Amino acid sequence: MAINKLKVTLKHLRLKTPLMTASGTAGHGDELTVLDNYQEILGALGAFVTKGITFKPRKGNPKIRVIETRMGLLNSIGLQNSGVKVFLKDELPLTLQYKLPIIVNISADTVEEFGELAAYLIDNDVNSIISGIEINVSCPNLGEHGSIFGTDPKAVERVVGTVKKRVGDKVLVITKLTPNVTDITGPAKAAIAGGTDVLSMINTLRGIAIDTTNCRPFLGNISGGLSGPAIKPVGVFMVYECYKKIPECMNKSVPIIGIGGISTYSDALEYIMAGATAVGIGTAWFVNPRIFEEIAKGISDYLGNNNTTVEELVGKAHGH
Ligand SMILES: Cc1cc2nc3c(=O)[nH]c(=O)nc-3n(C[C@H](O)[C@H](O)[C@H](O)COP(=O)(O)O)c2cc1C
């Protein structure tokens, strides 16, 4: 593989390839190690993003939590996790063996809790394992009657500003945007105003599936988040819009991680050409456990055939 051509940087963080796991789809700790192709996966990945954690443990939503749709997956896991204390003691140290930059995805119910969680993580990361914190703003803001943080630019700016103030430049602060808005550039600009280092997009699109045999929604939580191939054009569009309309994205002072529906190397290249410096892969990984090495090889062959690098391809669809 043309490994030098694959490397990218997100601010100061160097990744050997632009590929990352999408939060929630590859576990918290050493879940990858049980796979036969574990070494190949680690060779293909540039970074590992953990499943979302919260301050206190959460049981998650009632069953059924996942249902397949024609071109994707509808999930309502409900942020099931053991809480930050167990995460730091039992789960995070297991990721050391990956020898990859580790990005921890965080969720909270209030702006203050986001700040507390981020500060607690950084202060108690005794082995300095964490390279970045990804703020999931797709969760309900209980301080504001349960509206989703990510749909309100002011709330996004407050969350990001609070986290950034607590962690400073110790780790990369990444803000993961929700696509459940009419104009993604609003929350993206708000995250930049709050001091985010990197933007990632997209999280899942809200949806529902109804079981016609018993006339009830399939999911225990009624609605869920749609992921997988069906959402790819939405994700690529949102990356394209941010890159085109936000100078910090175009000049890469705030790089973008593109996520949503990637299942082939050309899907990943679409995101990169739209303006993403790195890409996250989730649902496709449930279908094809070799997805990371296949996509890395596909991109590498493309770079070799076209005598270019990933970094040269970022934003290429914009014609300059
Ligand atoms: C089962 C499942 C769990 C997820 N959990 C999280 C999570 O904890 N935090 C988060 O920010 N995104 C979470 N996501 C969203 C993914 O990280 C990703 O943004 C989304 O699935 C779109 O990418 P994909 O189409 O490649 O799966 C989850 C997605 C799935 C399918």
* DSSP symbols for 111-153: HHHHHHHHHHHHHT-TT--EEEEEEETTSEEGGGTTEEGGG-H
CA of 23 to the centre of ligand 1 (A): 5
Torsion sign over Cα 109, 192, 26, 50: negative
Question: Coil, strand, or helix at residue 106?
Answer: strand
Q: Indicate the average pLDDT of the chain.
A: 96
Ligand 1 pocket: which of 204, 205, 231 to mutate (most atoms <8 Å of CB)? 204
**Mean pLDDT value of segment 273-280:** 98
Residue 156's pLDDT band (cuts 50, 70, 90): very high
Higher pLDDT, 139 or 213: 213
Nearest CA to ligand 1 atom 19: 203
In sequence order, which ranges of the chain are alpha helices (DSSP H)?
A: 3-6, 38-44, 83-86, 111-123, 153-167, 185-194, 232-245, 247-250, 265-274, 283-287, 291-305, 310-313
Whether pTM > 0.95 for this model: the answer is: yes
What is the number of domains present in the chain?
A: 1
Catalytic residues: 139
Q: What CATH number should be reported for the domain holding residue 287?
A: 3.20.20.70
Note the pLDDT tens digit of each residue in 233-253: 999 999 999 999 999 999 999
Ligand 1 lined by 315 (C-beta under 6 Å): no
Cα gap 120→230, rounded to integer Å: 37
Cα gap 198→192, rounded to integer Å: 8
Confirm whether 218 is domain-assigned.
no
Confirm whether 213 is domain-assigned.
no
Confirm whether 219 is domain-assigned.
no
- What is the domain range of residue 233? 3-59+80-204+228-318
CA of 24 to the centre of ligand 1 (A): 5
Torsion sign over Cα 195, 200, 201, 203: negative
Confirm whether 192 is domain-assigned.
yes
Ligand 1 lined by 77 (C-beta under 6 Å): yes
Work out the number of other CB atoms within 10 angstroms of the CB of residue 112.
Answer: 13
Note the pLDDT tens digit of each residue in 103-120: 999 999 999 999 999 999
Predicted pLDDT of residue 139? 83
Neighbour-count burial of 309, counting CB atoms closer than 10 A to its CB (0-12 exposed, 13-18 middle, 19+ buried): middle
Confirm whether 67 is domain-assigned.
no
Confirm whether 210 is domain-assigned.
no
Confirm whether 197 is domain-assigned.
yes
**pLDDT of 298 strictly over 90:** yes
- State percent of the chain over pLDDT 70: 99
Query: Which residue from 3, 88, 49, 81 is spatially nearest to 198, judged by alpha carbons?
Result: 49
Ligand 1 lined by 21 (C-beta under 6 Å): no
**Mean pLDDT value of segment 183-190:** 98
Cα gap 57→80, rounded to integer Å: 7
**pLDDT of 86 strictly over 80:** yes
Note the pLDDT tens digit of each residue in 20-77: 999 999 998 888 899 999 999 999 999 999 999 999 999 999 999 999 999 999 999 9
Rg of the chain (C-alpha set): 18
DSSP per position, 41-83: HHHH-SBEEPPPB-SS-B--PPSP-EEEETTEEEE-----B-H
The rounded Cα 155 to chain-centroid distance in angstroms is 19
Ligand 1 lined by 261 (C-beta under 6 Å): yes
Confirm whether 172 is domain-assigned.
yes
Ligand 1 lined by 228 (C-beta under 6 Å): yes
State which ligand 1 atom lies nearest to the alpha carbon of 281.
26
